[in-house]
A and B are shown apart, each in its own frame.
Chain A
Amino acid sequence: MSGKVLMKGNEALAEAAIRNGCIHFFGYPITPQTELAEYMAKRLPKVGGLCLQAESEIAAINMVLGAAASGVRAMTSSSSPGISLKSEGISYMVGSDLPCLICNVQRGGPGLGGIQPSQQDYYQATKANGHGDLHLFVVAPASVQEMVTLVGRAFDVADTYRTPAMILADGALGQMMEPVDFDTALAGKREVPEKTWATCGHEGKRKKNIINSLFINPDELEKSVLEREERYKLIEKNEVLWEEYLVDDADIVIVSYGISARICKSAIEMARAEGIKVGMIRPITLWPYPKAALAKAANTASKFLVVELNMGQMVDDVKVAIDCRRPVSFFGRTGGMLPTADDVLAEIRKLNGGKQ
């Protein structure tokens, strides 16, 4: 595959993972991510890899834990209800300092919810995808091409800082087909540390390795959490990604990610044609959050508008980033409903103090 090919987001993500050296995939069927597992099932045996369908999401993430512990790049993918099930294993992987990639092709919730695209798992992904003091490196692609470019970044960050990484996509990105160039899949690839900690048999050549998240003495547990916190600080310092679109002269700054940011871009073009000075900051990493970019924008913009496919889960992050110096409004649809560019345009006009 060289040059551009037309592919579904789910499949493109799978192919990009393979190209980044991930040939161990463990999953469980759930709409709307199933094409990813199906693609893996078809491709991996041909490249000497393994795609294993587990008996549950819980088993799948624990198989990932075992594979990651033994030193290989491993991943799982699911959609919202399945990610809830994986939360236990995710917390154990954080506690055991194991790198891996988890993909959430979000659907509507709560509960069984629906199968249409949503961004209702923002809180879960960025605040508490499991128990304990934990973060995941969370990236939110906004196109099929970006699904591809972010996979390599996610694996590299995971391996560098020994942390699980998550691609927070949604049903629209997973299902839609767009032209994609796989030459970018390995762009920006970096050297990652050797996994000397892996449990792959010591062969009498080193001391035994232990992969473990249990520290029964509180002082030892605190020490381990603090050590991880240092790595989190480095991630916040080094790994923040965002895109700015027409922010410099913007009076209104939209903050939106993933598929909603695509809709917002169209709305911004329409608003600009009407002479409204509106721009957008699109967080690409949702954790770490692009706080500095937002704080800078608050120096010049007078209003912020958060657009998400949920009931406003990112609003607080924006308020904190700009220290509540500017009013922050919210517009979103939820449960699998998508706003149109016209809907967003109407919100922009409202904020502009004008007619709708």
Chain B
Amino acid sequence: MVVFDRPKSLSPVPFHYCPGCTHGIVHRLVAEAIDALGIEGKTIGIAPVGCSVFAYNYFECDMIEAAHGRAPAVATGVKRTHPDNIVFTYQGDGDLAAIGTAETVHASARGENITIIFINNAIYGMTGGQMAPTSLPGQVTTTSPYGRDVNIQGNPIHICEMLSTLDGVAYAERVAVNNPKNVLKAKKAIQKAFQNQIDKKGLSIVEVVSTCPTNWGMTPAEALKWVDEKMIPFYPLGVYKDVDAKGDAQ
């Protein structure tokens, strides 16, 4: 009996990600959700600019590579022309919460019936470790070498909290993939975010608190610990909005 195999929707090619990076786990969870719902043939994914720019090579569905931050606008164009297809974006923190904030907020406000997978690892990975909109106060990066000073570099953005105030958002949950228990919760959240789209409920976003050992200057094990000790206290996990629930959690 096969107990572990590659999801059908995940391409049989090696990932380019660094050791200890959690993109691979999240890619797998997205592919598992697509498989579980049997929607590979009607799904169109939108890749971002950032470390996951090559996501178009990793999923077996039709894929579009968008400009930096523009994935929700591209997804809008696809979904509005093919409302019965399933459209998801996969975006990092710089892409979604800095250069693409307007696209994120307005796609959410319009209630675009799409699914957004948001990877928050508090740093720009691909360009080599610069400060992200979600970098923690005091966090050292190459462009905040003395630690992020909120009086100079401003405050981090809490995306799930912000988007949960918008009427068009059906579902916003923050999860993490730093231990098996959290991975299972993340899997459930991602599947729900796709199911919501099938049920035409509006925009669903799953924010995944993730790691970047390379640019955090840590070992993979240290990075997982940092998620527990620093990231999650600042970015609390949980459901921020769910139109199915009676009253929103948190």
Known: A52-B80, A66-B64. A201 touches B73 (CB 8 A): no
Let me know if B62 and A214 touch, CB within 8 A.
no
| Nearest chain A residue, comparing its CB with the CB of B85 | A201
Interface residues in A206-221 (C-beta closer than 8 Å to B):
208-214
Partner of B82, one of A60, A201, A208, A211: A201
Contacts of B59 in A (CB 8 A): 208
Interface residues in B96-124 (C-beta closer than 8 Å to A): 102-103, 105-106
Q: Which residues of A contact B (CB under 8 A)?
A: 24, 26, 50, 52, 54-56, 58-60, 62-72, 74, 88-89, 92, 96, 199-205, 208-214
Name the contact of A204 in the complex, choosing from B41, B44, B54, B86 (C-beta under 8 A): B41
In the A-B complex, the 4 residue pairs with the closest CB atoms? A66-B77, A62-B73, A199-B62, A63-B77
**B78 close to A (CB within 8 Å):** yes
Which one of A56, A68, A89, A208 lies within 8 Å of B61 (CB-CB)? A208
Q: In the bound complex, do residue A24 and residue B102 qualify as a contact, i.e. CB atoms below 8 Å apart?
A: no
Contact B63 A70 (CB under 8 A): no
Cβ of B81 within 8 Å of any chain A Cβ, yes or no, is yes
B74 touches A209 (CB 8 A): no
B56 & A212 in contact (Cβ 8 Å cutoff): yes
Known: A64-B77, A200-B85, A208-B60. A59 touches B44 (CB 8 A): no
How far in angstroms is the closest Cβ of chain B from A77? 15
- Tell me the complex Cα distance, A92–B64, Å: 11
B65 within 8 A of A: yes
Interface contact A199-B44, CB-CB below 8 Å: yes
Beta-carbon contact of A201 and B44 below 8 Å: yes
Please tell me if the beta carbons of A55 and B106 are within 8 angstroms of each other in the complex: yes
Q: Is the CB of A69 within 8 A of B78?
A: yes
Q: A50-B80, A211-B63 are in contact. List 4 more A-B contacts (CB 8 A).
A: A24-B81, A54-B73, A70-B85, A202-B61
Who on chain B is nearest to A200 by CB?
B82
Q: Report whether B67 and A66 are in contact in the complex, using a CB–CB cutoff of 8 Å.
A: no
B77 pairs with A62, CB closer than 8 A: yes
B66 at interface (Cβ–Cβ under 8 A)? yes
- Would you call the interface of chain B mostly helix, strand, loop, or mixed? helix
Chain B residues within an 8 Å CB radius of A201: 41-44, 61-62, 82, 85-86
A50→B81 CA distance, assembly (Å) = 8
Knowing A70-B77, A70-B81 are in contact, say whether A214-B67 is a contact too (CB < 8 A).
Answer: no
Tell me, in angstroms, the Cα distance from A68 to B59 when the chains sit together.
21
A210 vs B45: C-alpha distance in the bound complex, in angstroms? 10
A-B contact pairs, 21 of them (CB 8 A): A24-B77, A55-B105, A59-B76, A59-B102, A59-B103, A62-B77, A63-B74, A63-B76, A65-B73, A67-B80, A68-B77, A69-B74, A70-B78, A70-B81, A72-B81, A92-B66, A92-B67, A200-B82, A208-B61, A210-B56, A214-B65
Closest CB-CB distance, B110 to chain A, in whole Å? 8
Taking CB as reference atom, which chain B residue is nearest A198?
B62
Q: Is the CB of B63 within 8 A of A208?
A: yes
Chain B residues lying within 8 Å of A50, measured Cβ to Cβ, are 80-81
- Inside 8 A of B198's CB, which chain A residues have their CB? none
Q: Which residues on the B side are within 8 Å of A203 (C-beta)?
A: 41-42
Rounded to whole Å, the gap between the CB of B47 and the closest CB of chain A is: 8
Q: Count of B residues near A, CB < 8 Å? A: 36
**Distance to closest chain B CB from A348 (angstroms):** 47
Closest beta carbon of chain B to A221's beta carbon, Å: 13
Bound form: Cα–Cα A62–B68 in Å: 11
Q: Shortest distance in angstroms between A109's beta carbon and chain B's nearest beta carbon?
A: 23
Q: Across the interface, which residues of A come within 8 angstroms of B21, CB to CB?
A: none
A291 to B40, CA, bound (A): 50
B contact residues around A213 at 8 Å (CB): 65
Do A63 and B80 form a contact, CB below 8 Å, given A55-B103, A201-B85, A210-B56?
yes
A200 touches B103 (CB 8 A): no
Question: Does any Cβ of A come within 8 Å of B70's Cβ?
Answer: yes
Q: Pick from A24, A63, A212: contact of B64, CB below 8 A.
A: A212
Q: Is the CB of B106 within 8 A of A59?
A: yes
For the complex, what is the distance from the CA of A201 to the CA of B82, rounded to whole Å? 9
Whether B186 sits at the interface, judged by CB under 8 Å, is no
A26–B77 contact, CB under 8 A? yes
Give the CA-CA distance A205 to B40 in the complex, in Å.
11
Binary interface profile of B, 156-183, with partner A (CB < 8 Å = 1, else 0)?
0000000000000000000000000000
A70–B103 CB distance below 8 A:
no
Do A204 and B63 contact each other (CB < 8 Å), given the known contacts A58-B73, A210-B56? no
Q: Is B53 interfacial (CB-CB < 8 Å)?
A: yes
Chain A residues near B73 (CB, 8 Å)?
Answer: 54, 58-60, 62-63, 65-66
Instruction: Determine whether the beta carbon of A210 is less than 8 Å from that of B61.
Output: no
Given contacts A50-B80, A72-B81, A209-B62, whether A66 and B75 have CB atoms under 8 Å apart is: yes
Bound Cα distance A199, B102 (Å): 25
Q: Which one of B56, B66, B80 lies within 8 Å of A24 (CB-CB)?
A: B80
Q: Which residues of B contact A200 (CB under 8 A)?
A: 44, 62, 82, 85
Interchain CA distance A58-B102 in the complex, whole Å: 10
Give the distance in Å from the alpha carbon of A55 to the alpha carbon of B86 in the complex.
23
Could you say which of A52, A62, A204 has the most chain B C-beta atoms within 10 Å of its C-beta? A62
Query: In angstroms, how far is the closest chain A Cβ from the Cβ of B78?
Result: 4
Q: B residues 175-196 with Cβ under 8 Å of A?
A: none
B57 to chain A, nearest CB (A): 8
Residues of B within 8 A of A214 (CB): 53-54, 65
